[in-house]
Structure 1
Amino acid sequence: MTIDSPVHRAWLTEHTLGLLEFGRRTPGPRGAQWLDETGAPDPARPVLTWITCRTAHVYALGAMLGVPGARPVAQASLDALAGALHDDEHGGWYTSVGPGDGEVDGTKSAYAHAFVVLAASSACAAGLDGARALLDEALATLDARFFEPEHGMHTDEWDVAWTRCDPYRGVNANMHAVEALLAAADVTGEARWRERALGITERVLAWASAHDWRIPEHFDAGWRPQLMLNVDAPEDPFKPFGATVGHGLEWARLALHLAAALGARADLVDAARHLYARAVADGWDAGAPTPGFVYTTDWEGAPVVRARMHWVAAEAIGAAAALLRATGDPAYAQDYARWWDHAATVLIDHAHGSWHHEVDDHGRPDAGVWPGKPDLYHAMGAVLVPRLPLAPAMAVAVRDGLLDRP
């Protein structure tokens, strides 16, 4: 497999169209609905802000790619962020609404707010109605309510009225804030958001380097690592114990996007190599009945949760493609082909569409952590990152006609 071959690009295009077709039924009156294995909305689940944001982002990309029907899905998702999911009384965005009438989880999370910034940035690039006002509000909220200048990082969670900040601090929300801030910088032309993303990334890379390139995920209010947090709840979907393999891959890619945006940052490229190498060495479980990436490891690299999450493989594809672009090292081309072979054989659902979000170590669909197929965000990244330059951000690159011109 050659990353830039016409046949491979055609396959990526076909898969992109299949993903967008799968998720068409997600819009609901209150936001993007959780999808089951067949792509049907699951009415028993609440409408989540982060799922709605990811849907707006993905279908804004689809609209800019020229896929008919994508723009209405993106606009409906964006409208929900200005409507049912927005807290008109206290400001910011709820975690979720529903499934019943009047049911609201009013928790304000940095994770969800980072995705509002990403969604609004992509919507701006696509020219969706109300996008710029939403982006301005989202950036102001993320800055004023979550960013801690003394630490250079974002807090994790507030109550609905912004009166109590949870003492937990986490890297996951900050990772998605980096992606969102890079997108916002390219859309708005405001370099300060890129500089903030750089500061966050440099701190995370320093922590990773100090732990043999395994990234500490959990911290206390003073940003001291809590390496044993959730040791008794290792399968938590957002706060699992140990090192999260997929995040090592995702941070590697983000470091490369930053390096490309800033120029002449060999240190970021070197760090990306280390993160990727550690994640692959620890995470690729070649000896299992069906090889794949484990979810988490302990601090010596031993697997903790062996379930295979689709998003980890998607991020491996993106990281290998980005490293190949940044370094020209053919070893990454070999990895890129290997990860796509794994995805196509084990994770892509050729019967119903999209990707199985979780499989066991025999390659059988599972639902221990992620039931159904709630969104397309990671899979969409896997098909677009290999076709785009490392900078500018994805939505701006698509808007500016840089697809297949990396």
Structure 2
Amino acid sequence: MNWLTNAAHTRWLESETDALLDFASGSLVEEGFAYLSTEGVPVPSQGSHLWLTCRMIHCFSLGALLGRPGSATMVDHGLRSLASHFHDDENGGWYAQVGPDGPMDDTKPAYAHAFVILAGASAASAGRPGGKELLEQALTVSLQRFWREDEGMVVESWDRTFSELEDYRGVNANMHTVEAYLAAADVTGDDAWLDRATRITRRVVDDFARKQSWRIPEHFDSDWQPLLDYNMDSPSDPFRPAGATIGHWFEWSRLVLHVRAAWAVRGVAAEDWMLEGAQALFDLGVAEGWDVDGADGFVYTVDFEGKPLVRERMHWVVTEALASAAALYRVTGDANIAAWYQLWWEYAAVHLIDTQHGSWVHELGADNEPSATVWAGKPDAYHAVQATLIPRLPLAPVLAPALAQGMLDTH
């Protein structure tokens, strides 16, 4: 039995999408969307993060496109919060974190600004007022402040006034910029965004990853020289962990296939490295991430010889593995990939899907019991929501534009 071609499994995916959106609806607060506790209650000390608020706008835009009543109201609330509480009217861009009394973190990170683009693209796809305008504004900020044409990458983070740029360069921010630019290309019809997404992807996968036996370096200096020992004194950092991050291998594997499919629908032949890289990253993620220490689950990070560094199991790694498997199966039809897909959903159902409080347990220890070494609470529905939808959609266009074009369950 192949779950990826099973209509009953598709119905189960739909019910899980609904459950995740229902849990996420508890995150609405005045300033945007809150960081939620394990029980689904806003955590006041966290305020509202830009990346989380934008992810929720994206998720509820998907909900609106799926015909879920109430989702459009959530999107509209999020758009208003970006225009008011988050937006820096004096300097441009959006604050990284806000609370009832104003900015809690007034820096301007590329990572979070990529999600502003995604939020705008998804809201525009859902036909929400202000979505298109947000997308145009966010793309302008991205080009002016973050994109470097000569490097084919984005820089990391600015101060409030866009006058001081951090020396660090990160692949994580570039990964989510690829995701955002792919959506922008589909929504605007401007293939310059697809060109930029392809340039980033080519450099990360066909250059950085290939040179490290496909173990993607995450951290670089301002000249894009890898910093392979970065954060070794704090290896479990939630955004900049030491070593190589297993979940990102799966995420890049899928993004490569989105890029490849986007060119295909435009009549452009795929470049040879695309499928090679997608397959290599997937295979290495399985080999060095899954069940490598005697227990089911993916370790968080490994060193550049493939040995585990942080053994905690993050829910988002499983969701990205599931999404990557669905994407790669779409391209290859490989039965072994379908078998991994089924096994990982089984693991998620047994260990991660929280039938008591809702949503997914965000982190497990090496013993597969709840842990909070890296992530406390349940701030994020985005990864899991996407894992329930990617198996039901084509690789191009990406999620929200595909739903807007009526492509659900048509591939």
Is the pair's TM-score, using the shorter chain for normalization, greater than 0.5?
yes
Question: What is the one-letter code of the residue matched to 1:306?
Answer: R
**Corresponding pairs, count:** 404
Amino acid at match of 2:52: I
Q: Could you tell me the TM-score, scaled by structure 2's length?
A: 0.97
2:137 aligns to what?
Answer: 137
In the alignment, is the contact (CA less than 8 A) between 2:85 and 2:102 conserved in 1? no
Aligned equivalent of 1:373: 378
2:209 is the alignment partner of 1:203: no
User: Match of 1:285, SS?
Assistant: coil
Once superposed, which parts of structure 1, at least 4 consecutive aligned residues long, lie more than 6 Å away?
A: none
The separation in 1 between residues aligned to 2:78 and 2:103, in whole angstroms, is: 19
Residue in 1 aligned with 2:319? 314
Amino acid at match of 1:83: S
Q: What residue is the counterpart of 2:252 in the other structure?
A: 251
Aligned to 2:298: 293
Give the SS at the match of 2:4: coil
Indicate whether 1:382 and 2:387 are aligned.
Answer: yes
**Are 2:98 and 2:105, in contact at CA under 8 Å, matched by a contact in 1?**
yes
- Tell me the SS of whatever aligns to 1:304: strand
User: What SS class does the counterpart of residue 104 from structure 1 fall into?
Assistant: strand
Matched AA of 2:147: F
1:67-115 Cα deviation digits (max 9, x unpaired): 11111111111211111011111000110012x5234311000001000
Whole-angstrom CA distance in 1 between matches of 2:302 and 2:25: 36
Pair 1:6 & 2:12 matched: no
Q: After TM superposition, list the pairs within 5 Å mapping 1:141-180 onto structure 2.
A: 141-180=141-180
Match of 1:335 in 2: 340
Distance 2:320 2:223 in 1: 30
Structure 1: how far apart are the matches of 2:238 and 2:77?
A: 27
Letter in 2 for 1:102: G
SS at match of 2:164: coil
* Pairing 1:77–2:74 present: no
Name the residue aligned to 1:360.
365
Partner of 2:33: 32
Give the Cα separation in 2 of the matches to 1:402 and 1:296.
Answer: 35
| Structure 1 Cα separation of the partners of residues 94 and 102 of structure 2 | 15
For 2:185 and 2:22, the matched residues in 1 are separated by 30
Mapped to 2, the partners of 1:64 and 1:381 lie a distance apart of 14
CA distance in 2, matches of 1:72, 1:65: 14
The equivalent of 1:61 in structure 2 is: 62
Q: Which amino acid aligns with 1:274?
A: A
Instruction: Give 1:38's aligned amino acid.
Output: E
- For 2:408 and 2:157, how far apart are their aligned partners in 1? 37
Separation in structure 2 between the aligned mates of residue 68 and residue 102 of structure 1, nearest angstrom: 31
Unmatched segments (≥5 aa) in structure 2: none
The residue correspondences of 1:105-144 to structure 2 (distance < 5 A) are: 105-144=105-144
Q: Which residue type is aligned with residue 184 of structure 2?
A: A
CA distance in 2, matches of 1:280, 1:67: 35
Unaligned ranges ≥5, structure 1: none
Look up the match of 1:181.
Answer: 181
* Cα offset, 1:275, TM superposition: 0.7
Deviations for 1:102-157, whole angstroms, at most 9, x for unmatched residues?
A: 34311000001000000000000001111111111100101110111121100000
How far apart in 2 are the matches of 1:36 and 1:59?
A: 19
> Residues 230-309 of structure 1: matches in 2 within 5 Å?
230-263=231-264, 264-265=269-270, 266-288=272-294, 290-309=295-314
Letter in 2 for 1:387: R
In the alignment, is residue 401 of structure 1 matched against residue 406 of structure 2? yes
Root mean square deviation of aligned Cα: 1.0
2:229 match: 228
CA distance in 2, matches of 1:104, 1:342: 37
Offset, 1:287: 4.1
- Tell me how far apart the structure 2 counterparts of residues 274 and 375 of structure 1 sit (CA, whole Å): 28
